[in-house]
Amino acid sequence: MVNLEWFRTFRAVYEKGSLTAAAESLYISQPGVSLHLSSLEAHVGYKLFDRSSKKMLATERGKLLYNFVMEPLIKLEQAEQHFQKSKEKERPTISIGMCFETFQFTLEPYLSELPFNVIIKFGEYPEMLKDLDHGILDLIITPQKGDFRSLLFKPFYKERIVLISGSETDTSTFQDLLVANRQEELHQWLVQQIWYGTTADMEHLRRFWQQNFGKRPDFRPNFIVPNISSIIRCMGGGRGLAVSPDFLTQKELHSGRIKVLWEGYQPIENTLYFGMRKKSIYTKQIELVESIFLKEMVGE
C-alpha cells in the first residue's frame, strides 16, 4: 500500500532539487528521504529522478506524477492545518521511544500534565534508532548510539547493573563468603537461591554473570515475569534475587522492600542518552521531557 508521506517527500525533492534540501525542509534525515523515494519508485514501477552529484532532475514520468499529485497534496495540507487549528490548536504531537520500565519509572506519572500529545513506542534499540533517523520518532532514551549523521546523542545518566534481593532474603552467608573472597562457594550459593527473570530480555543477567564469573548463567530463573517492574513488585518485601539497573529500584530501596545485594567484582555501567534529530520542530517539547528524566533519575 502506498504511503502518502512518500508523495510529500517526492514533492519536496522535486521542488528543492536535492535530497539534502528536501530532508531539511521536512525535518527528517537524508536516508529517510532516500527510503521514501525509492519506495515510491518501486511502487509506481519507474524512475522518477535522474540523480547527479549536485542535483536531482525529474524524469518525464516524474514531471507527470508531480503535476498529477501537486494539487491534491496542497488540499491535504490545507485540511491538515484546518484540523489542527479547529481541533488541536497549539497542541503538537511528539513520538518517544524507550523501554517499558523506563517509561513507568519516569514519564508515566507526568503524562496527563504535559501540554502536548505524546505517542510512546516500546521496542528494541536498533529499531528505535532507525525510526528516529527516518522521522518516525522524535526522541528516544537509549544506552546505544548508532552511526547516524543526522542524529544527536546527549548523555544524561549512568545506570549500574546490580544484584538485588527481597528484604526477607537471608544474605548473611553471602556476605561472609564475599568478605572471605571465596568466589566458587559464593557462586554456588547464588545458584541455589530463588531467582526472578523476564520473558523479554535476560541480557542484564547474562552480562552480570559473564562479567563476574566468566561464563553464562548456569541456571534457569524460578519465576519468569513480563518485565523488571514486575520482578521488583513480586520480590519486594519477600525473598529472591534478580539483576536490574539500579535506577529502577530506587523507590523500593527507599521503602526497604528490596536491597542492593552486590554490584559485582567489576561493576557494569551503561550510559543513557537522549537521542534526537539535530534539526527538529519539537525542541521545546523535547526539552520538557528531558527535564522530567533529569528530575526523576538525576535529581536535578
User: Do residues 286 and 245 both lie within one domain?
Assistant: no
- Give me the pLDDT at residue 151, please: 94
Mean pLDDT for each consecutive 10-residue tract of the chain (300 residues)?
84 90 85 89 90 85 90 80 57 91 91 93 90 92 89 94 95 95 94 88 87 90 89 90 90 89 92 94 95 85
- State the pTM of this model: 0.64
3-state secondary structure of 31: helix
Segments forming the whole domain that contains residue 20: 4-87
User: Do residues 172 and 231 both lie within one domain?
Assistant: yes
User: Do residues 100 and 136 both lie within one domain?
Assistant: yes
Give dist(CA 60, CA 233) in Å, integer: 63
User: Distance of CA 106 to CAs 65, 141, 243, 298, Å?
Assistant: 47, 11, 20, 11
- Give me the pLDDT at residue 169, please: 94
- Give me the pLDDT at residue 265, please: 92
User: Do residues 183 and 39 both lie within one domain?
Assistant: no
User: Do residues 171 and 256 both lie within one domain?
Assistant: yes
Burial class (CB in 10 A: 0-12, 13-18, 19+), 8: middle
144: its cell numbers:
546505544
Of 87, 102, 126, the residue at which a domain comes to its end is 87
- Give me the pLDDT at residue 242, please: 95
User: Do residues 165 and 222 both lie within one domain?
Assistant: yes
Of 48, 68, 87, the residue at which a domain comes to its end is 87
User: Do residues 9 and 105 both lie within one domain?
Assistant: no
User: Do residues 177 and 264 both lie within one domain?
Assistant: yes
Query: What is the total count of domains within the chain?
Result: 3
What is the sign, positive or negative, of the torsion defined by CA atoms of 258, 263, 264, 265?
negative
CATH of the domain at 37: 1.10.10.10
| Residues facing 117 on adjacent strands | 93
- Give me the pLDDT at residue 237, please: 86
Torsion of the alpha carbons at 109, 281, 75 and 2, rounded to the nearest 10: -80
User: Do residues 133 and 198 both lie within one domain?
Assistant: no
For 84, the enclosing helix (H) or strand (E) is helix 60-87
- Give me the pLDDT at residue 83, please: 64
- Give me the pLDDT at residue 226, please: 85
User: Do residues 146 and 294 both lie within one domain?
Assistant: yes
User: Do residues 66 and 106 both lie within one domain?
Assistant: no
Q: Is 43 within 8 Å of 6 (Cβ atoms)? A: yes
CATH of the domain at 179: 3.40.190.10
- Give me the pLDDT at residue 25, please: 85
User: Do residues 132 and 173 both lie within one domain?
Assistant: no
Of 36, 68, 87, the residue at which a domain comes to its end is 87
Distance of CA 13 to the CA centre of its chain: 30
Please report the DSSP string for 131-199 in residue order. HHHTTS-SEEEES-----TTEEEEEEEEEEEEEEEETT---HHHHHHHHTT-HHHHHHHHHTS-BEEES
User: Distance of CA 135 to CAs 70, 139, 154, Å?
Assistant: 22, 10, 18
